[in-house]
């Protein structure tokens, strides 16, 4: 799936943000027939499924608000497949990383436990 230059930039910034905080990126753009997970990371005994939302400064809908119930369900279903395929010893968690791009740079906000 081609996510476009803005989405790719947001995912790169999100991955860098997570790595700087001690997360190890295991997968990027993990695809299943149920949907895609932008980033899968690990920190300690936690397996983190990350939805990255990139927005321009002043966008009418925030990145976190764009992760609606339908999107959460697709991510959970894809995550279950990944988790059962060899990572069931880790505690799963669902996070959202919101990247806001502006002329002055980018702001990255990591929302842990964004949904169950």
As a whole number of angstroms, the distance between CA 58 and CA 103 comes to 12
Determine the pLDDT at residue 5.
81
Determine the pLDDT at residue 25.
98
The two three-digit tokens of residue 108, written as one number: 């990255």
Say whether pTM exceeds 0.85: yes
Determine the pLDDT at residue 1.
46
- State the pairing for strand pair 24-32/46-56: unpaired
* For residue 40, pLDDT beyond 50: yes
As a whole number of angstroms, the distance between CA 88 and CA 72 comes to 20
Q: Using the 8-state DSSP alphabet, how is residue 60 labeled?
A: S
As a whole number of angstroms, the distance between CA 40 and CA 48 comes to 6
Place of tokens 């966008």: 59
The number of angstroms, rounded, from the C-alpha of 75 to the middle of its chain's C-alpha atoms is 9
Which CATH code for domain 4-115? 3.40.1350.10
% of the chain with per-residue pLDDT over 90: 76
As a whole number of angstroms, the distance between CA 41 and CA 92 comes to 10
- Cα dihedral across residues 1, 116, 9, 66: positive or negative: positive
Q: What is the pLDDT of residues 1-26, one digit of tens each?
A: 446 788 899 999 999 999 999 999 99
User: For the chain, what are the domain ranges?
Assistant: 4-115
Q: What is the pLDDT of residues 43-62, one digit of tens each?
A: 999 999 999 999 988 888 88
């Amino acid at each position: 799936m081609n996510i476009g230059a803005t989405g790719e930039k947001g995912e790169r910034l999100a991955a860098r943000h997570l790595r700087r905080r001690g997360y190890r990126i295991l997968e990027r753009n993990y695809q299943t027939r149920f949907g895609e997970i932008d980033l899968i990371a690990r920190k300690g005994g936690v397996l983190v499924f990350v939805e990255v939302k990139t927005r321009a400064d002043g966008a009418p809908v925030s990145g976190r608000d764009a992760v609606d119930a339908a999107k959460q369900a697709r991510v959970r279903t894809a995550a279950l497949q990944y988790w059962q395929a060899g990572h069931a010893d880790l505690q799963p968690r669902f996070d959202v990383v919101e990247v806001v791009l502006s002329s002055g740079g980018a702001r990255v906000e990591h929302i842990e436990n964004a949904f169950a």
